[in-house]
């Protein structure tokens, strides 16, 4: 019989088989688990709660169900003892191929039915947030391909072992690996439970779908390769595994096809463009060392950047032009750019320059080195293009990178070459081409000038203060301007959050934080007296703040978060915390990382605690702040590697990174606030502490990193010594 | 009987499935040591008795799965067909059953030996730690009661229905993911993770390895229950043998 005929017969049989129909029916119920029991993705965003989690639950549980079905179906002829009969009618290899194709067809139809069944409920629950493309992508990129992978893998394992329990055990082992802590943090190891930290209601899910589609193709290639290999292991002529294998590999094209598929999967894994190869922890030393550093003799007079975001491919094309005088022909110059970008050309005047891109990924940057020939006022042109790769250490959270039709976010080395060895002038010009419906914000300021390119894109032009980093974000934004404590504020958010912002009266909630901080800790000053920008961004939970701007991740303003009475102060904590950073971040309090405690986080967390104490009372603030800090510090003190740091170096890099990150977080967010609380008691109470903090604010606000406010300055202001603040 | 034992050992241990399962156990053990135990349990050193107890109790569900898999062979349909012939031989059915238990126990000891060697290599290579006598108590507390209980339960379940093996395998697999704390924690993982936190720390900054009386009683109870189930199985074999001889 021909393969297609066999496939047709098998498929028809499956639609009459009780067990197949039962598995299909059960798999239709599996997304229900995602509404309450199986929550792998953030449940705070609406599309996470009503789409991502149900789909992920359906994906994982359905995949297991179809794997069981694949094993049962593969064993069917042996169980019924008709294998000899079937083998005499058609080739067992052809039969196995027909069976897997029929299973794939069967489960695809089941997936299609599942997509249709859950559509009305999802539309009702997501209301104006519902996006049909995201809905379809969730089922056709995440769920159905994972079911294919699982079914193919299970069938392959059965064909290799030809035992139900053994293939089941091996399959369970493969599933276990995906849920183990070792593999959980990687996008690429999770074949059955794709890593989706959060969906977005107001911005874009393009990056999530791109990386998930990539991993599905990768695992389909690997599972397909294992399946094709397993065809050589199908038992025939009553031989055992080895005998059948020797017989099976006589058809040379089978092992070759298997090898091609597995190698293709491995190459996809190795050459993935989504995550860089940097260290597992953020390198604060690199950040501090390269901040405004210039080591070359070359002098730069003028800079212009032209960036084009290509939302269909998710790539960026950029041209950076520096007018440079190079007085020395032997100095080696360099710049850092995202490792995902390829440098298309490097010219100085009309001369093409040789360059080397080093293998030194760190903090989402990679260094390119070149030598400038001696010349006056020539233009150094760097042309680059590529898919922005996430920092490895932040990759599970998908930190801050997106190029799609709905949202563009390109920060630091994702936007333009940075950390250039030659110093940059005070300002430069930036041109950025974006889809028409997106409004850009550059360096936390709106861009006024634009030209319509009549091709669905607009080019925006603005002058930027040329620090080594340029932050660009673009979305369909809404703005609420207001004034509080004499500060002009723009609250900027995705227009999809219009309803939430107004119904929960967010501006008033923000004003209350400003009022508290101004009255207790003094008035803040920004370095350039501009309007303050409070910006909502795509992200999974926290926020960020600096001189004159605050960024909040999307979940802080979701209905689920704002309407949850149990979360009360917790939701407000991140919300208030980032605003409070405006008071302490501007002091140039540096974050050293490692075991250092002193950073703006300590003062910010302490002030947040004080605000919550005033709002919710002493008991609440003690339970939710002081007790939490104390328990974390106690746990840190008891930790084996904290007591014996000499053993830390013996650990593999991943564990060292995990432990160091945990230690840093405890130091910054728990130990230091406890120390400041101790200082408060030693100086004579809250009022006296407020007075000290007001003085600090008045004397140091706006100094920035040029004259950072050190831990010793803090101790001097309090009239205390280091020893007095040591925790027992 | 020694000939039968040799044959059973050959059948159970010298086959590709046992070697495959042994390899899976070894890989899982190494993975557990390098991903979980390396961090230490309950703020104690990775080479503390508590951490070693956690290691054993983490690998024990997979070992149990292997043991159940080995036992399932004795109660398969094929085996029941062969039983007609074996029961006609002059071999004492109780001794025959105990011989099979011995074969499984040898398999268990073999797996444990491999896993202990892996852990010794881990401790020496990572921490230059050699004081393995400190691990004796966790070995006794964790492995023996669990093994005897699984053996007793497996044989009893196999005599009732072969399908029960698959249920037990699923339960064992589920226990890899579920963390139960308290003295009656069957494999002891939750207990080793939680109990030391409640203990006072010694001069070294860690609580000494000393389990509670409740935990000891629970381990004893599992041991006795396992032995009890084995006795019930023996009695049932004895009754069946008597019935068969009366029929003849």
> What CA–CA distance (Å, rounded) separates B33 from A82?
46
Rounded distance between C-alpha atoms, residue A469 and residue A419, angstroms = 8
SS3 (DSSP) at A182: helix
Contact A182 B31 (CB under 8 A): yes
Out of A166, A182, A639, whose CB is closest to B17?
A166
Q: What is the pLDDT of residues B140-168, one digit of tens each?
A: 999 999 999 999 999 898 888 878 888 88
Instruction: Collect all residues of chain B within an 8 Å Cβ-Cβ radius of residue A647.
Output: 45, 127
- CB-based contacts of B42: which residues, under 8 Å, 6+ apart? B50, B192, B193, B194, B195, B196, B197, B207
Neighbours of A656 (CB within 10 A): 16
The pLDDT value given to residue A120:
95
Contact list in A for residue B127 (CB cut-off 8 A) is: 647, 650
User: B129-152 as b/e, with b when 16 or more CB fall inside 10 Å?
Assistant: eeeeeebeebbebbbebbbbbbbb
Token pair of A69 as six digits = 């079905």
DSSP tag of A391: P
What is residue A131's three-state secondary structure? coil
Hey, what are A200's tokens?
């977005």
CA dihedral B111, B114, B119, B121 (to 10 degrees): -170
Nearest to B96 by CA among B86, B107, B85: B86
Contact present, B191 and B182 (Cβ < 8 Å): yes
Q: Using the structure block, give the residue that is written with the tokens 């923000």.
A: A510
pLDDT given for residue A568 in this prediction: 44
Percentage above 70 pLDDT, chain B: 96
Tell me whether residue B185 is in a domain.
yes
Q: How far is it, in rounded angstroms, from Cα B80 to Cα B103? A: 19
In a domain, B204, yes or no: no
Considering only CB atoms, which chain A residues are within 8 Å of B205?
Answer: 638, 643
Nearest CA in chain B to A180: B35
Q: Predicted confidence band at A694 (pLDDT cuts at 50, 70, 90)?
A: confident
Alpha helices in A334-403 (DSSP H): none
Q: Is the pLDDT of residue A418 over 50?
A: yes
Q: Which residues on chain A are in Cβ contact (under 8 Å) with B45?
A: 640, 644, 647
Distance of CA A484 to the CA centre of its chain: 34
Nearest to B35 among A182, A650, A659 (CB): A182
Give residue for tokens 């979980």.
Answer: B36
For residue B107, tell me if it sits in a domain.
yes
Give the whole-angstrom CA distance, residue B170 versus residue B188: 18
Phi/psi of residue A639, nearest 5 degrees: -55, 135
Q: How far apart are CA B82 and CA B104, in angstroms?
A: 19
If we measure between CA atoms, which residue out of B128, B136, B116, B127 comes closest to residue B30? B116
Domain presence at residue B15: yes
A496-503: average pLDDT? 84
The per-residue DSSP string of A211-236 comes to HHHHHHHHHHHHHHHHHHHHHTT---
Determine whether the interchain pair B35/A647 forms a contact, defined as Cβ–Cβ distance below 8 Å: no
Q: Does A650 touch chain B (CB under 8 A)?
A: yes
Beta bridge partners of A316: A309, A386
Sign of CA dihedral A514, A517, A519, A522: negative
pLDDT of A595 above 70: no
**In whole angstroms, how far apart are CA B16 and each of A39, B13, B20, B64?**
39, 8, 6, 18
Q: Which residues on chain B are in Cβ contact (under 8 Å) with A165?
A: 69, 72, 166, 169
In the 8-state DSSP scheme, what is residue A554?
A: G
CA-based nearest residue to A57, from A29, A34, A41, A37: A34
Nearest to A655 among B31, B39, B127 (CB): B39
In a domain, B97, yes or no: yes
CA distances from A223 to A28, A254, A264, A266, A629 (A): 24, 14, 11, 11, 47
Per the CB < 8 A criterion, the answer to whether B88 and B175 are in contact is no
- ipTM higher than the 0.85 cut: no
Dist. CA B180–CA B175, nearest whole Å? 9
B91 lies in some domain: yes
Quote the pLDDT of residue B183.
Answer: 81
Take residue A684 and report the two structure tokens written for it: 């004579």
- Report the 3 state secondary structure along chain B: CHHHHHHHHHHHCCCHHHHHHHHHHHHHHHHHHHHCHHHCCCCCCCCCHHHHHHHHHHHHHHHHHHHHHHHHHHHCHHHHHHHHHHCCCCCCHHHHHHHHHHHHHHHHHHHHHHHHHHHHHHHHHHHCCCCHHHHHHHHHHHHHHHHHHHHHHHHHHHHHCCHHHHHHHHHHHHHHHCCCCCCCCCCCHHHHHHHHHHCCCCCCCCCCCCCCHHHHHHHHHHHHHHHHHHHHHHHHHHHHHHHHHHHC
Instruction: Tell me if chain B has a CB within 8 Å of the CB of A651.
Output: yes
* Domain span at B105: 2-198+209-243
**Contacts made by residues B184-187, CB under 8 angstroms, sequence distance 24+:** B184/B218, B185/B57, B185/B218, B186/B146, B186/B149, B186/B222, B187/B57, B187/B58, B187/B60, B187/B61, B187/B142, B187/B146
Closest-approach residue (CA) in chain B for A646: B127
Burial environment of residue A300 by CB neighbours within 10 A (0 to 12, 13 to 18, 19 or more): buried
Highest-scoring range by mean pLDDT, A441-455, A560-574, A655-669: A441-455
Of residues A344, A345, A433, A413, the one with CA closest to residue A385? A344
B20 touches chain A (CB under 8 A): yes
Predicted confidence at residue A95, as pLDDT, reads: 92
Chain B residues within an 8 Å CB radius of A182: 31, 35
pLDDT at position A678, please?
93
**Domains (range + CATH), chain A:** 3-238 (no CATH), 284-475 (2.60.40.1730), 496-725 (1.10.390.10)
- Residue A474, pLDDT > 60, answer yes
Q: Do B35 and A180 touch (CB under 8 A)?
A: yes
- For residue A563, the model assigns a pLDDT of 65
- Quick: pLDDT tens for B195-238: 999 998 887 788 999 999 999 999 999 999 999 999 998 888 88
Q: Minimal Cα distance from B124: which residue of A?
A: A650
Higher-confidence residue: A594 or A263?
A: A263
Residues B9, B3 contacting (CB under 8 angstroms): no
The reply to whether B248 falls in a domain is no
CB proximity B63 to A under 8 Å? no
Cα–Cα distance measured from residue A264 to residue A420, given in angstroms and rounded to the nearest whole number: 38
Joined tokens for residue A29: 């119920």
Q: Is A652 on the interface with B (CB under 8 A)?
A: yes
Give alpha helix (H) positions in A81-234. 83-89, 92-126, 132-137, 144-161, 164-179, 181-184, 206-231
Give the total number of structural domains in chain B: 1
Counted across chains A and B, CB pairs separated by less than 8 A come out at 53
Q: Is the alpha carbon torsion for A509, A513, A519, A525 positive or negative?
A: negative
Q: What is the DSSP letter of A203?
A: S
Residue A411 clears pLDDT 80, i.e. is over it: yes
Q: What is the pLDDT of residues A7-25, one digit of tens each?
A: 999 999 999 999 999 999 9
Query: pLDDT tens, A34-89?
Result: 998 888 998 888 999 999 999 999 999 999 999 999 999 999 988 888 888 888 88
Q: Nearest CA to B33 among B61, B55, B57, B48? A: B55
Q: Which of B35, B44, B201 sits opposite A181 (nearest CB)?
A: B35
**What are the CA-CA distances from residue A315 to residues A210, A310, A387, A404, A634 (Å)?**
12, 5, 4, 9, 47
**Is residue A219 scored above 90 in pLDDT?**
yes
Contact A650 B127 (CB under 8 A): yes
**Could you tell me which residue, A492 or A527, shows the higher pLDDT?**
A492
Cα separation of A172 and B170, whole Å?
10
Residues A265, A221 contacting (CB under 8 angstroms): yes
pLDDT (average), residues B75-102: 80
| A445 pLDDT more than 90 | no
Alpha-carbon gap, residue A442 to A309, rounded angstroms: 14
What integer is the mean pLDDT of A606-616? 88
Question: Which residues share a beta bridge with A474?
Answer: A408, A440
Cβ(B18)–Cβ(B107) below 8 Å: yes
The answer as to whether B203 is a domain residue is: no
Task: Report, as an integer, the average pLDDT of B59-88.
Answer: 83
Kind of pairing, strands A487-494 and A532-537? parallel
* Nearest CA-CA distance, residue B244 and chain A, Å: 31
The burial class, CB within 10 Å (0-12 / 13-18 / 19+), for B174 is exposed
């Amino acid at each position: 019989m021909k393969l297609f005929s066999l496939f047709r017969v098998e498929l028809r049989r499956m639609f009459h088989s009780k067990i197949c129909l039962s598995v299909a029916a059960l798999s239709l119920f599996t997304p229900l688990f995602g509404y309450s029991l199986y929550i792998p993705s953030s449940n705070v965003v609406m599309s996470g709660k009503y789409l991502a989690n149900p789909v992920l639950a359906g994906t994982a549980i359905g995949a297991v169900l179809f794997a069981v079905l694949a094993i049962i179906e593969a064993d069917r002829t042996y169980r019924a003892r008709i294998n000899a009969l079937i083998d005499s009618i058609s080739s067992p290899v052809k039969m196995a191929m027909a069976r897997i194709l029929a299973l794939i067809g069967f489960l695809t139809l089941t997936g299609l039915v599942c997509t249709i069944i859950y559509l009305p409920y999802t539309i009702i629950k997501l209301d104006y947030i519902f996006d049909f493309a995201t809905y379809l992508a969730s089922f056709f990129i995440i769920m159905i391909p994972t079911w294919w992978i699982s079914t193919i893998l299970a069938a392959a394992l059965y064909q290799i072992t030809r035992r139900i329990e053994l293939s089941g055990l091996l399959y369970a082992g493969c599933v276990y690996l995906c849920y183990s802590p070792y593999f959980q943090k990687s996008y690429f190891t999770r074949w059955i439970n794709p890593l989706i930290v959060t969906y977005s209601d107001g911005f874009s899910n393009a990056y999530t779908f791109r990386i998930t589609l990539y991993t599905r193709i990768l695992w389909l290639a690997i599972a397909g390769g294992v399946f094709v290999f397993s065809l050589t292991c199908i038992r025939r002529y009553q031989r055992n595994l080895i005998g059948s294998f020797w017989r099976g590999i006589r058809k040379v094209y089978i092992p070759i096809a298997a090898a091609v598929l597995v190698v293709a999967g491995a190459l996809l894994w190795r050459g993935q463009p989504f995550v860089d190869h940097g260290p597992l922890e953020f390198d604060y030393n690199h950040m501090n060392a390269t901040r405004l550093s210039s080591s070359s003799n070359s002098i730069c007079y003028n800079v212009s950047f032209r960036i084009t975001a290509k939302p269909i491919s998710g790539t960026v094309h950029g041209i950076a032009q520096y007018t440079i005088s190079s007085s020395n022909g032997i100095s080696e110059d360099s710049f850092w750019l995202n490792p995902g970008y390829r440098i298309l050309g490097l010219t100085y005047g009309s001369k093409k320059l040789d360059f080397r891109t080093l293998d030194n990924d760190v903090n989402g940057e990679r260094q390119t080195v070149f030598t400038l020939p001696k010349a006056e006022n020539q233009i150094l042109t760097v042309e680059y293009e590529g898919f922005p790769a996430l920092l490895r250490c932040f990759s599970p959270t998908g930190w801050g990178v997106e190029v799609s039709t709905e949202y563009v976010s390109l920060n630091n080395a994702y936007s333009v070459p940075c950390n250039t060895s030659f110093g940059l002038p005070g300002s430069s010009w930036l041109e950025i081409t974006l889809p028409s419906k997106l409004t850009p914000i550059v360096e936390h300021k709106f861009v006024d000038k634009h030209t319509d390119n009549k091709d669905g894109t607009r080019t925006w032009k603005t002058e930027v203060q040329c620090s080594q980093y340029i932050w660009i974000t673009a979305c369909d934004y809404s703005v609420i301007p207001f004034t509080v404590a004499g500060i002009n504020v723009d609250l900027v958010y995705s227009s999809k959050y219009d309803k939430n912002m107004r119904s929960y009266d967010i501006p008033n909630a923000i004003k209350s934080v400003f009022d508290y901080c101004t009255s207790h800790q003094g008035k803040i000053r920004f370095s350039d007296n501009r309007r303050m920008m409070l910006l909502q961004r795509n992200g999974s939970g926290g926020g960020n703040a600096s001189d004159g701007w605050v960024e909040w991740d999307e979940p802080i303003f979701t209905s689920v978060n704002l309407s949850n009475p149990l979360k009360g102060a917790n939701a407000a904590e991140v919300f208030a915390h980032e605003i409070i950073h405006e008071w302490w971040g501007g002091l140039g309090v540096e974050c050293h990382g490692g075991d250092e405690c002193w950073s703006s986080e300590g003062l910010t967390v302490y002030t947040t605690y004080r605000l919550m104490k005033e709002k919710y009372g002493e008991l609440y603030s003690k339970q939710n702040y002081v007790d939490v800090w104390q328990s974390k510090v106690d746990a840190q003190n008891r930790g084996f590697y904290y007591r014996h740091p000499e053993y830390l170096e013996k650990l593999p890099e991943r564990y060292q990174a995990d432990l160091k990150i945990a230690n840093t977080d405890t130091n910054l967010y728990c130990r230091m606030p406890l120390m400041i609380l101790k200082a408060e008691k030693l100086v004579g109470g809250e009022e006296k502490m407020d007075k000290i903090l007001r003085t600090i604010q008045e004397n140091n606000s706006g100094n920035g990193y040029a004259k950072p406010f050190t831990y010793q300055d803090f101790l001097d202001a309090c009239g205390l010594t280091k020893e007095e603040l040591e925790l027992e | 009987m020694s000939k039968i034992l040799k044959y059973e050992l050959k059948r159970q241990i010298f086959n590709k499935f046992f070697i495959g399962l042994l390899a899976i156990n070894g890989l899982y053990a190494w993975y557990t040591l390098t991903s979980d135990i390396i961090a230490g349990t309950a703020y104690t050193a990775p080479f503390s008795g508590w951490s070693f107890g956690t290691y054993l109790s983490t690998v024990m569900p997979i070992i149990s799965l292997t043991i159940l898999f080995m036992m399932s062979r004795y109660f398969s349909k094929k085996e029941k067909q062969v039983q007609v012939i074996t029961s006609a031989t002059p071999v004492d059915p109780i001794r025959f059953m105990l011989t099979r238990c011995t074969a499984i126990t040898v398999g268990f000891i073999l797996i444990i030996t491999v896993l202990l060697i892996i852990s010794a290599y881990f401790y020496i290579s990572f921490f230059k730690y050699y004081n393995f006598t400190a691990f004796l108590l966790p070995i006794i507390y964790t492995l023996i009661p669990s093994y005897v209980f699984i053996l007793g339960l497996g044989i009893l379940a196999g005599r009732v229905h072969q399908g029960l093996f698959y249920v037990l395998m699923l339960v064992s697999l589920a226990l890899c993911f579920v963390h139960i704390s308290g003295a009656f924690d069957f494999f002891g993982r939750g207990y080793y993770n939680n109990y030391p936190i409640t203990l006072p720390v010694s001069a070294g900054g860690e609580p000494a390895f000393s389990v509670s009386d409740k935990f000891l009683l629970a381990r004893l109870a599992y041991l006795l229950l396992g032995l009890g189930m084995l006795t019930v199985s023996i009695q049932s074999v004895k009754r069946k043998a008597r019935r068969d001889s009366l029929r003849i």
